[in-house]
């Protein structure tokens, strides 16, 4: 296999999590008896451009199907984050009714509905039928396609080049990152702005966030890698912000290479921190497997200990990262009884691989488990506040990443 960006032959394994089904391939009861497809879940690091990437097996069309079950609007904290961004970027760029905004991977309209409310013309590009339908119901126009150069050329030819192209947690999801980035340039007006948010590889390594690895994430991104990819496409990153979302993310601001806006000091600052952290050296990548294994081993040992003690353990949040953790640990219903989730698209289905049933949040009060594992640890405070009633029967919250933690409500 060669690097998806620079085509250097990949020789260095960053993380090997064995085989797993796609993390968002939730099962209906009827499908439990059918064969379940799994793929190798292995990451390599390119020692030339430092792009961390999955081994090529899964096809994007199989991963992002019409019944895709992830809906961004299920998290209030994420909705609040998106609304703040919409207000900030509108003021910063002076967006108006004469502007045009494109969001790539617009999901259920969680972000663009803010621009609709402000009267700013916009378009979502979203390939999954289920989420596109939801976006249109809140007034967001949607183009149902995967984004790349071809789609960008079509938009530009129709006079739909954008003043702002935004993409939240999509850059890691594209199998052809060069084509996607060239598409950004093609669809961007002369003085337009690109903002992309993505989990920061440096934080993944620092916080042992191995459960954020799944097939839908083709790339794991550092600023040093993204800067090279942008430059190769004729784009330039002129500012970077660090965000707390998803365990630590970057928001990059991009423009055409010849844009008059100067490159801010934030870019060099993050690049220097990445270099100091060792992201330009193979050692840090080769050491990560043992850290991931410790998180997994401690979690499984905790579940076995509770089973032997006669305690009941459930989970909250049927998140993709939870599926990575459960499948790598070989966790089944005997160790984790059920998972609750607020998304109707996941309820009454089963977790891929582990086949643990997914129930409504009300099941926690009905079944009163001794421990509730918060699988989407990045929104743990939000979940703890929403489900604080577990204190009524002496229940406790558990998170496994970055290390096993048991918390009283």
Percent of the chain scoring above 90 in pLDDT = 90
Domain ranges within the chain, ordered by starting residue: 146-285, 289-407
Number of other residues whose CB lies within 10 A of the CB of residue 206: 15
Predicted model pTM: 0.91
> Cα(first)–Cα(last) distance of the chain, in Å?
47
Q: Do domains 146-285 and 289-407 have the same CATH topology?
A: yes
Q: Tell me which CATH homologous superfamily contains domain 289-407.
A: NAD(P)-binding Rossmann-like Domain (3.40.50.720)
Give the list of residues 6+ apart from residue 24 with CB closer than 8 angstroms, or none.
63, 68, 69, 70, 216, 320, 323, 352
The tens digit of pLDDT for each residue in 348-373 reads: 999 999 999 999 999 999 999 999 99
- Token pair 């009163």 is found at 368
Write b or e for each residue in 258-276: b if 16 or more Cβ atoms lie within 10 A of its Cβ, otherwise e. ebeeeeeebbeebbeebee
For the chain, give the mean pLDDT.
94
Indicate whether 216 pLDDT > 90: no
- For residue 73, name the pLDDT band (cuts at 50, 70, 90): low
User: 376 near 319, Cβ under 8 Å?
Assistant: yes
The architecture in CATH of the region 146-285 reads: 3-Layer(aba) Sandwich (3.40)
CA-nearest of 296, 216, 214 to 20 is 214
- For residue 68, name the pLDDT band (cuts at 50, 70, 90): very low
The tens digit of pLDDT for each residue in 234-260 reads: 999 999 999 999 899 999 999 999 999
Write b or e for each residue in 140-168: b if 16 or more Cβ atoms lie within 10 A of its Cβ, otherwise e. bebbeebbbbebbeebbeeeebbbbbbbb
| pLDDT at residue number 324 | 96
C-alpha to C-alpha distance for 237 and 32, rounded to whole angstroms? 47
The tens digit of pLDDT for each residue in 290-320 reads: 999 999 999 999 999 999 999 999 999 999 9
Q: Strand pairing partners for 193?
A: 164
Hey, CA dihedral for 237, 280, 221, 197, is it positive or negative? negative
C-alpha to C-alpha distance for 377 and 370, rounded to whole angstroms? 18
DSSP states along 175-236? S-HHHHHHHHHHTEEEEEEEEEEEEBHHHHHHTT-GGG--TT--EEB-HHHHHHHHHHTTEE
Report CA-CA distances (Å) from 121 to 64, 103, 117, 188, 282: 26, 11, 10, 15, 46
CA 50 to chain centroid: 20
The tens digit of pLDDT for each residue in 86-97 reads: 999 999 999 999
C-alpha to C-alpha distance for 282 and 141, rounded to whole angstroms? 45
Q: Are strands 12-20 and 39-45 parallel, antiparallel or unpaired?
A: antiparallel
Point out the least confidently predicted range of 54-63, 77-86, 225-234, 386-395: 54-63
**∠364-214-9 over CA atoms, to 5°?**
170
C-alpha to C-alpha distance for 124 and 160, rounded to whole angstroms? 12
């Amino acid at each position: 296999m060669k690097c998806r960006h620079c085509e250097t032959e990949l020789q260095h394994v960053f993380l090997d999590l064995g085989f797993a089904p796609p993390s968002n391939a939730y099962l209906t009861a009827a499908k439990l008896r059918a064969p379940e497809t799994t793929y190798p879940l292995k990451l390599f690091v390119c020692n030339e451009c430092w792009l961390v990437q999955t081994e090529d097996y899964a096809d994007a069309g199989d991963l992002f199907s019409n019944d895709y079950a992830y809906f961004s609007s299920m998290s209030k904290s994420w909705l609040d984050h998106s609304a703040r961004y919409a207000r900030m970027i509108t003021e910063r760029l002076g967006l108006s009714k004469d502007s045009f905004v494109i969001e790539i991977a617009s999901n259920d309209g969680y972000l663009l509905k803010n621009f609709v409310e402000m009267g700013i013309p916009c378009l979502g590009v979203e390939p999954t039928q289920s989420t596109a339908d939801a976006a249109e119901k809140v007034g967001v126009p949607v183009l149902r396609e995967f984004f790349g150069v071809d789609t960008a050329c079509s938009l530009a030819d129709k006079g739909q080049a954008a003043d702002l192209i935004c993409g939240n947690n999509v850059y890691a999801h594209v199998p052809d990152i060069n084509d996607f980035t060239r598409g950004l340039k093609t669809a961007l007006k002369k003085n337009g702005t690109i903002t992309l948010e993505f989990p920061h590889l440096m934080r993944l390594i620092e916080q042992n966030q191995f459960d954020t690895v799944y097939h839908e994430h083709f790339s794991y991104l550092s600023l040093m890698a993204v800067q090279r990819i942008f430059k190769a496409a004729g784009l330039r990153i002129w500012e970077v912000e660090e965000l707390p979302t998803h365990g630590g993310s970057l928001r990059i601001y991009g423009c055409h290479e010849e844009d008059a806006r100067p490159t801010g000091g934030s870019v060099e600052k993050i690049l220097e921190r990445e270099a100091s952290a060792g992201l330009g050296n193979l050692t840090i990548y080769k050491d990560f497997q043992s850290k991931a294994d410790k998180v997994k081993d401690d979690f499984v040992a905790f579940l076995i200990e509770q089973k032997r003690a006669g305690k009941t353990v459930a989970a909250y949040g049927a998140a993709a990262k939870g599926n990575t953790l459960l499948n790598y640990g070989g966790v089944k219903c005997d160790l984790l009884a059920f998972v609750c989730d607020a998304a109707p698209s996941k309820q009454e289905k089963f977790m891929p691989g582990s086949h643990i049933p997914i129930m409504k949040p009300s099941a926690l009060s009905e079944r009163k488990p001794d421990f509730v594992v918060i699988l989407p640890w990045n929104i743990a405070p939000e979940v703890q506040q929403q489900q604080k009633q577990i204190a009524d029967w002496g229940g406790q919250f558990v998170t496994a990443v970055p290390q096993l933690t048991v918390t009283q409500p």
